[in-house]
A and B are shown apart, each in its own frame.
Chain A
Amino acid sequence: MTAAVSTTALTKRYKQRLAVDAVDIELPVGVVSGFVGPNGAGKTTTIQLLLGLCRPTSGTAQVLGRPISDPASYLGRVGALIEAPSFYPSLSGRRNLEVLTRLGRIDSRRIPEVLELVELSDRANDFVRAYSLGMKQRLGVAAALLPNPELCILDEPTNGLDPAGIREMRSVIRGLADRGITVFVSSHLLAEIEAICDHLVMIDSGRIVFQGGVDKLIGAQQSEIVATPEHPADAPALAALCIAAGRPASVTGDDVRVQAPQDWAAELNRQAMAGGITLRGLAVVRASLEEAYFAITEGPQEPA
């Protein structure tokens, strides 16, 4: 098996609305893959298709080497948290998990293990209606981990979590990857995705606009070099030197911001010296995932 998830021209149409449009996805095994896109882009529908919760209008897909037309053949090896975590409010967290272990014929000894993993052991016997959103989110992750999955699909697992909760969730997800579990996690928090994911799938208006390594995406973006002349009066002259060398540049305060690959920083230093300008600062600003994301989604779209 080369891909944990593989889709070919996967399409889902709801009446007039095309929610997922001929999507081709390949998720490598054993890595954390991020799934990003604006609200309504088709993330949750794609996840529902992979979990057999809805039927594709056309196209095919395989999860853990099995076709999505036969979800019973692979869902026993898949854990999932879908959208907002949903539980029976008048049952305790532990009882809610028991509903799922009995249904999926999962060893009930997994319950304390997963509760411990998401740090809910102390509140396991409380009614879920008394849980905060963050606790419900963690219980949702615990439910996803019950079958000791090979593939874990998490739809917005950090929704409703405070900064400490987000950090804990990041640690839980990295822990899953360390245990060899393939994780497919959707989120609108791009900084979180950048922090935890090795691989990325970007979707916009139902179409995949990028998939590949996070480094590949960010590396493809033009980095920025920020040069600070010793004398602020030299900034316009320095910017002119860069523009003459074919690099777009602008003056911002005392700094000159130059759109150029990071290895051009040495050339910039030479040019400044040759022009009689001494630099007191020179820094390369790497593009963030957020910048790369907006560059792709707001710029002209190309097929992945």
Chain B
Amino acid sequence: MLGAFSSEWIKLRRRAMLLWGLGGGLFFAVLATVFTIERATKTFTFPERGHGIRVTFAVLEQPDGLVHGVVDVSTLIGIVALCLFAGAFATEYSQGTMRNLLVREPRRVKLLCGKFLALAVFIGVAVILEIVISSAVALALAPGRGITTSAWTSSTGLRDLGDATLHVYLASVGYGLLGAALGVLLRSPGVAIGTAVAYVLPGEAIIVAAIWSNGDHWLPGRLLSALSQGGTSDVSYSHALVTLLVYAVVISVGILALFRRRDA
């Protein structure tokens, strides 16, 4: 597995991977942080037509206010991970390199696990970078707007920062697993990414709105969104985590079985 992990890193260091894998999430994280702080208001105001709710200074001045913007766009960060994983697996099929890999590492479970682990570490680095840089941006911008940041650097604030990093990371790996599964299943990067994004973004929203109002508690995309926020008022963190772990085991076993048996 170490061989598969190590060889995958050569591919992850490609310019395109760095640009889209690291840069994509970073772009959303920094953009959300800037918008959150620049649009914050001293007192709560009802949003004007066509504009989102503006966060108040009081909310941002809480210990977890530092990563408010990042957590808000954690689904988009997750989608970047999903595309990265789906592309990394499906492209091996579409460009014919999977056969080369299987000749050099015929133990398919090790190949798949090593590759997934490398991508998971890469996404971990990406999430840490996103949190660190967006936090630095927040700390730089907040005083200029008159937002007090002392709670952000308190022990509670630092713990909240660590928790948020973990939650966003776990959710990103979850999105990644979904992408990897579709990549292996569909073997085409375009089809895999298109299917995954269509399902997670509009697909689940339509299901919840039109068919299954309780879907927030069971649909994987909704649960990942709850997980990345450390739980929501509707879905607790522990429920999201446990349910997603069950999904992850089922998906992993299914994909490993398919990958082991299917002709390359």
Which A residues contact B (CB, under 8 angstroms)?
Answer: 48, 51-55, 71-72, 75, 78, 80, 82-84, 86-91, 95, 98-100, 102-106, 143, 147
CB nearest to A89 among chain B residues: B95
B232 interface hit (Cβ, 8 Å): no
Residue numbers in B under 8 Å from A55 (CB-CB): 261, 263
In the complex, what distance in Å separates the CA atom of A51 from the CA atom of B18? Answer: 34
| Chain B, range 126-143, C-beta contacts under 8 Å to A | none
Which B residues contact A (CB, under 8 angstroms)?
Answer: 3-4, 6-7, 10-11, 14-16, 95-97, 99-107, 111, 261, 263-264
Instruction: Decide if A99 touches B10 in the complex (CB within 8 Å).
Output: yes
Q: Known contacts A48-B264, A88-B11, A100-B7; decide if A53 and B95 are in contact (CB<8 Å).
A: no
Instruction: Decide if A52 touches B10 in the complex (CB within 8 Å).
Output: no
Instruction: Decide if B104 touches A54 in the complex (CB within 8 Å).
Output: no
Q: Known contacts A82-B99, A87-B97; decide if A52 and B104 are in contact (CB<8 Å).
A: no
Q: How many A-B residue pairs have CB under 8 A?
A: 78
CB nearest to B6 among chain A residues: A102
Residue numbers in A under 8 Å from B103 (CB-CB): 51, 53, 75, 78, 80, 82
Task: Identify the interface centre among B11, B15, B106: most chain A CB within 10 Å of its CB.
Answer: B106
Instruction: Decide if A103 touches B106 in the complex (CB within 8 Å).
Output: no
In the complex, what distance in Å separates the CA atom of A80 from the CA atom of B97? Answer: 13
In the complex, what distance in Å separates the CA atom of A147 from the CA atom of B11? Answer: 21
Interface SS, B side: helix
Instruction: Decide if A90 touches B264 in the complex (CB within 8 Å).
Output: no
Instruction: Decide if A104 touches B261 in the complex (CB within 8 Å).
Output: no
Instruction: Decide if B96 touches A84 in the complex (CB within 8 Å).
Output: yes
> Which listed residue (A80, A91, A102, A143) contacts B14, Cβ 8 A?
A91
Residue numbers in B under 8 Å from A99 (CB-CB): 7, 10-11
CB nearest to A87 among chain B residues: B97
Instruction: Decide if A90 touches B14 in the complex (CB within 8 Å).
Output: yes
Residue numbers in B under 8 Å from A102 (CB-CB): 3, 6-7, 10
CB nearest to A55 among chain B residues: B263
User: A46 → chain B, closest Cβ, in Å?
Assistant: 13
